[in-house]
Structure 1
């Protein structure tokens, strides 16, 4: 698959059409594999954000979206999902050059999942009912679940299109309108969502997309009085700022924040499954995944064998051009992020972690020399309290930590400010249940990783998030429950 690299012009999408910024300012987006400029994106001002929010409010209050039948609304969402699949090569191509992720994985997995996100919530909302509570005194109560209003959907740069549809699906299915702010580093695929919605028959103003820095656009969006709720995926630090910004207008918030998952390997684990599973959890998307299994806890009796086999598998990962079919790892997303990730290489030295492999740029062809590449990097660190074991690096850097007993593994796993997810590898069913109950995280995968049922709750303990999304948890966030009490006499 060859993606054209001419510079694209990306506008803001407000009230059914693409428009330039009111200041006519733009910012560059670069291909992280080559550092070539791939897009000039309109940089929204506070006034542009205001216009987008007002368009979304007008569409909610006076447009047909909120009041049309659930069946009609969901049929338009299903059409939106179909259009996403019809344009999957285009969308995957944009994510590949924008994020630097392997194209073939994106087109085969992420874009179909994005379409499924929309389709699932269209089906799911149509199956929902309410509660009815008859009273002996000749009254009856029943509930309705009504849309909240205007939602700000603020999405990260690592899986931009798929994670945006994960929020947009339930938001629209419930009857809300939306202003989307994608990450400024990776706006290309998300910029298509407005026109895809329009082609699907969704009214103007229901889906709006604004671009720019979080400090300007994100702040204006999360402070705006026309915005009723904020769904955000990103860093814990940014989540704290959004919560403060929205406090004066009492916005509902749903946050999926950082993670530092423990991936726990017991001596009875099936290493033929645990090693490729752990490689995938460590290095998918160059480790730029909030769910990454970056703390690998290995029982000491099998530590040497696991280390040897895991290191061999890591060194065999093909790092290179995201457009090549055999590439398993692309570059890091930007210079700023590359500097952050590689700063931990020095921290690891200071903490006397043992470097097993990686820790440097790979040898690559000339046209990739400006890309921000890093080899899969593996450390052994006996001290689980060290910074490389505690802080979210968000890159292809993992630490192996030995442990002796189940109790010690639980203590190490829980000794972090994060609690998004965890992974357990064991063939002992009772141990699997004990560990799953004991590790304090929102999702525990046993003998697998990154398996998602959209009906299940998703979110984090501690500083990994606020609230849950998925299934009825998403609908509870994107709706208001109304009780109606009727006198029968």
Structure 2
């Protein structure tokens, strides 16, 4: 049977007011399996009314009470990890183990972290210079949280949790490509009696629902994760009425490997950083820069390991790589591989679509692809591909490594591999990236600021940065006489 999703508006499960629907496909099979509400601005307006009505009570709850509700939601999600993981795997085409062991637990951790953070979010006071000053950090009101398709529940909770913890009411929009786990979270919120109107989830297309959220005059802030092109349009829209905006956008991240890189876990981590979730993570290292004296060793070992990665049915525990999220995205990535060939790149492995036998023969799979022989300013090394495609470039010294790392319009993340920690610290300070890992990848302390430079976004998420974004700062000064 076709699964029929709903929206969460004012604590109620609702279809789109237009009663229109969007098809949801299973990437591993290429077949439709669900219907998603095709909402529009009228649904956003209804969600805003519900959120606005709920705001006075929610915003004046003690932080400990808001934390209690977030913890209750986390508890409920934790008891259903297997159900949510199965849904995430089916909806996004990713290996079941990745969803079960990493992504759904991270969604639980997001809720728990910001529940605790709500009780520790302190204001400042200043005295002795000009009276007594204290700073209030007050919730904004109704805010919009727009999340992407690649890490559906992981990034949806990463946005809504700090917004709710800070005392705002939320209109959340998950991607229409992967809407199922956000719908399930809404159903979970209803089951535990989450306060009506505090969390609203509107389903539908970006140009209709997303733009309506961005343009609504009563919505005070927008937190968006997605492509740079869409983020630029959102920033332009928000500029017209000076609406707060946080943008976590694309990346073309460099992984820099020096000849003295510690070999323990090196190749396993390089492989994971390039191909986890079929390369559909904004933090993936899609450009591997290798010191020339170690180039052949690193290249040959990495290619040998990439060829052994099993691509196929996400439900099969023996497969490390699943499908790409949609037919359109599959075609886009294959087009980039063709472009790499046209630009003179040499394919060392992959470069082809994969058709697993059985139920997944119609799915959208691509073999792990490694390419060498392209310069830093080719389109292949400049444009975000967002798939299982890794390029290799050699460098001779530290300055050249830095120049290659920064030869991109993006600036989200980078990884450095070296045994020389002075060199690591020097380069970390000079790389144009908001996040730099040294001898590791994707280790995340949720207290730290997260975000990018250049075309990778505006603002920072995580920890106190997120709570500050979702609040308005007000200074109160008392003359002491």
Q: Normalising by structure 2, report the TM-score.
A: 0.98
**Preserved CA contact (<8 Å) 1:76 1:201:** no
| Alignment match, 1:392 | 384
Q: Following TM superposition, where does structure 1 have runs of at least 4 consecutive aligned residues deviating by more than 4 angstroms?
A: none
| Alignment match, 2:143 | 151
User: Secondary structure at the residue paired with 1:432?
Assistant: helix
| Alignment match, 1:176 | 168
What pairs with 1:430-441 in structure 2 (closer than 5 Å)? 430-441=422-433
User: Secondary structure at the residue paired with 2:180?
Assistant: coil
Cα offset, 1:213, TM superposition: 1.1
Cα offset, 1:356, TM superposition: 0.4
1:29 to 24, 31, 34: 24
User: Secondary structure at the residue paired with 1:483?
Assistant: strand
| Alignment match, 2:278 | 286
Q: Structure 1: which 5+ residue stretches go unaligned?
A: 1-5
Deviations 1:33-87 (A, max 9, x none): 0012111111102211111122112211x4x211111111111111111111111
Cα offset, 1:308, TM superposition: 0.9
Deviations 1:132-151 (A, max 9, x none): 122467x3111121101111
**Preserved CA contact (<8 Å) 2:349 2:368:** yes
**Preserved CA contact (<8 Å) 1:9 1:40:** yes
| Alignment match, 1:164 | 156
Deviations 1:172-217 (A, max 9, x none): 0000010111111000001123233344443111111111111111
What pairs with 1:468-483 in structure 2 (closer than 5 Å)? 468-483=460-475
CA distance in 2, matches of 1:222, 1:111: 28
CA distance in 1, matches of 2:129, 2:361: 77
Q: Normalising by structure 1, report the TM-score.
A: 0.96
**Preserved CA contact (<8 Å) 2:248 2:451:** yes
| Alignment match, 1:415 | 407
| Alignment match, 2:212 | 220
Deviations 1:443-479 (A, max 9, x none): 0001100011111010001010100011111111011
| Alignment match, 1:259 | 251
**Preserved CA contact (<8 Å) 1:77 1:200:** no
| Alignment match, 2:200 | 208
2:85 counterpart of 1:92: yes
CA distance in 2, matches of 1:193, 1:147: 23
**Preserved CA contact (<8 Å) 2:64 2:118:** no
What pairs with 1:235-246 in structure 2 (closer than 5 Å)? 235-246=227-238
User: Secondary structure at the residue paired with 1:271?
Assistant: coil
User: Secondary structure at the residue paired with 2:204?
Assistant: coil
User: Secondary structure at the residue paired with 1:378?
Assistant: strand
CA distance in 2, matches of 1:115, 1:214: 26
Describe the shift of the 1:336–1:363 C-alpha distance in structure 2 as closer, same or farther (beyond 3 A).
closer
Q: Structure 2: which 5+ residue stretches go unaligned?
A: none
Cα offset, 1:245, TM superposition: 2.0
User: Secondary structure at the residue paired with 1:457?
Assistant: coil
CA distance in 2, matches of 1:476, 1:44: 31
2:227 counterpart of 1:232: no
**Preserved CA contact (<8 Å) 1:151 1:176:** yes
CA distance in 2, matches of 1:350, 1:260: 20
CA distance in 2, matches of 1:38, 1:265: 43
User: Secondary structure at the residue paired with 1:262?
Assistant: strand
2:110 counterpart of 1:117: yes
User: Secondary structure at the residue paired with 1:229?
Assistant: strand
